[in-house]
Amino acid sequence: MNDVFLRAARGEATPYTPVWFMRQAGRYQPEYRKIRERYTLPEIVRHPEVTAEVTRLPVRQFGFDAAILFADITTPLYGMGFDLDIVEGRGPVIHNPIDTAEDVRRIHLFSAEAHTPFVLEAIRILKRELEVPLIGFAGAPFTLASYLIEGGPSKNFVKVKGFMYAEEEAWNLLMRTLTNAMVEYLSAQAAAGADALQVFDSWVGRLTRHDYERYVAPHMRRLFEALKPLGVPVVHFGTQTMHLLSPMAEAGGDVIGVDTTTPLDWARDRLGTRPVQGNLDPTLLFAPEPVLARGVEAVLSANTGRPGHIFNLGHGILPGTPPDAVRRAVELVHTLSEVRT
Ligand SMILES: Cc1c2[nH]c(c1CCC(=O)O)Cc1[nH]c(c(CCC(=O)O)c1C)Cc1[nH]c(c(CCC(=O)O)c1C)Cc1[nH]c(c(C)c1CCC(=O)O)C2
């Protein structure tokens, strides 16, 4: 197996910089769009063979050094009693959002075996066939709570923050409930064979540092503490989180995911030897080749040759990204990083 990704995640020196992209499987691929003509996203996830095929596709096509399990951060929410749809171009929409403390108490206890057996089966299939490490993942409690309380994607996060400020006790119960569910979900993924895990706290950067420390950090600390015995590296990722780098790193995660707005060298200087993942601007994949090459080079040099760098985008691949640019970006990371080490 190609274990360059896992070595970098442990902070070890590697012959070249490993690369994978968040949302590397998706609508920018004609092959994925073809599968989507027959299945909706939740249907793909409920068919382990189809999930395995969609997960493998970008690895085979573009030479990524890791695969990420095809699912969504909303996948475990159905079993917890939420009724939701994923609306194209918009994101998850919850038909029975959380409004009151009473709604929090009604959330069902999550069981990975009972509610997401198809996810575990897809992992087992993939582990038999993949030649690169498989990354399992889950949404972080704050990001999940933001969908559950807002009822869908949000711009200003007024409802979720309003609930957090006004109903602190119910908020903490919700965060504890989501933390326990995600520990159960991620532990089951690791037991099924996932080689690494990523926790997506995509929207946490919209909190002030003070609010993060009060309302989120204690739960994140408990989450990462509970994942430690699994013995697999865990990536902790958020976007627009430059002001949260220290408290997020302190909360946990073996690798810190750095988004586009946080300079990688600045992050590395503050994280010491802790491995980092990131942070090419996803829009550079729409740029002329020399501009893309310059962008890749800039990310590699911001890392200043230190071990423990996993190349990624600063956030997910955008719809409409040309597949050839993805292929070229992977090649550039491999060839340019090989020269430097
Ligand atoms: C916030 C979030 C979600 N989902 C996810 C996050 C965290 C990462 C991030 O911040 O980008 C995580 C996610 N979603 C998906 C994956 C699969 C694996 C991979 O990275 O290749 C992963 C890791 C599949 C998906 N999840 C979704 C798609 C879109 C495709 C489709 O409908 O086929 C895919 C491939 C739907 C989804 N699901 C969500 C959104 C905002 C959307 C996009 C809506 C749209 O643009 O139509 C919620």
Q: Which of 226, 216, 252, 221 is nearest to 237 (CA)?
A: 252
Q: Which of 211, 212, 210, 252 is nearest to 234 (CA)?
A: 252
Question: How far does residue 72's CA lie from ligand 1's centre (Å)?
Answer: 6
Check if 72 is active-site. yes
Cβ of residue 171 lying under 6 Å from some atom of ligand 1: no
Q: What is the pTM of this model?
A: 0.97
Check if 33 is active-site. no
Instruction: Check if the beta carbon of residue 302 is closer than 8 Å to that of residue 258.
Output: no
Question: How far does residue 23's CA lie from ligand 1's centre (Å)?
Answer: 7
H or E stretch covering 331 = helix 323-340
Question: How far does residue 70's CA lie from ligand 1's centre (Å)?
Answer: 9
Eight-state DSSP code of residue 216? I
Side chain identity at residue 80, one-letter code:
M
Segments of the chain scoring below 50 in pLDDT: 341
Cβ of residue 49 lying under 6 Å from some atom of ligand 1: no
Q: The tokens of 131 are what?
A: 């030649």
Question: What are the E-state strand segments in 228-275?
Answer: 234-238, 255-257
Interface predicted TM-score of the whole assembly (ipTM), two decimals: 0.94
Cβ of residue 241 lying under 6 Å from some atom of ligand 1: no
- Other beta carbons within 10 angstroms of residue 316's beta carbon come to 17
280 — alpha (psi -120 to 50), left (phi > 0) or beta? beta
Only one residue has tokens 């601007």, namely 281
- Residue list for the binding site for substrate: 23-27, 72, 147, 202, 315
pLDDT at residue 341, as a whole number: 47
Question: How far does residue 21's CA lie from ligand 1's centre (Å)?
Answer: 12
The active-site residue, picked from 3, 72, 103, 265, is 72
Q: Give, using CA atoms, the residue closest to atom 36 of ligand 1.
A: 91
- Other beta carbons within 10 angstroms of residue 219's beta carbon come to 22
pLDDT at residue 219, as a whole number: 98
Check if 27 is active-site. yes
Atom of ligand 1 nearest to the CA of 88: 47
Cβ of residue 72 lying under 6 Å from some atom of ligand 1: yes
Cβ of residue 257 lying under 6 Å from some atom of ligand 1: no
Q: Cα-flanking dihedrals φ and ψ of residue 267, to 5°?
A: -65, -45
> How far is residue 150's CA from residue 256's CA, in Å, rounded to a whole number?
27
Cβ of residue 89 lying under 6 Å from some atom of ligand 1: yes
Q: Cα-flanking dihedrals φ and ψ of residue 102, to 5°?
A: -60, -40
Helices then strands, counting H and E runs in the chain, come out as: 16, 9
Q: Give, using CA atoms, the residue closest to atom 40 of ligand 1.
A: 91
Q: Which domains does the chain have, with CATH numbers?
A: 3-337 (3.20.20.210)
> How far is residue 172's CA from residue 101's CA, in Å, rounded to a whole number?
10
Cβ of residue 70 lying under 6 Å from some atom of ligand 1: yes
Pairing state between β 67-68 and 134-139? parallel
> How far is residue 174's CA from residue 166's CA, in Å, rounded to a whole number?
14
- Residue list for the binding site: 23-27, 72, 147, 202, 315
How do residues 17-42 score in pLDDT, each as one tens digit? 999 999 999 999 999 999 999 999 99
Q: Where are the alpha helices (DSSP H) in 16-77?
A: 30-38, 41-45, 48-62
Question: What are the E-state strand segments in the chain?
Answer: 67-68, 84-87, 91-94, 134-139, 196-201, 234-238, 255-257, 276-280, 309-313
How do residues 226-235 score in pLDDT, each as one tens digit? 999 999 999 9
Check if 83 is active-site. no
Question: How far does residue 67's CA lie from ligand 1's centre (Å)?
Answer: 15
The active-site residue, picked from 3, 10, 32, 36, is 36
Question: How far does residue 287's CA lie from ligand 1's centre (Å)?
Answer: 23
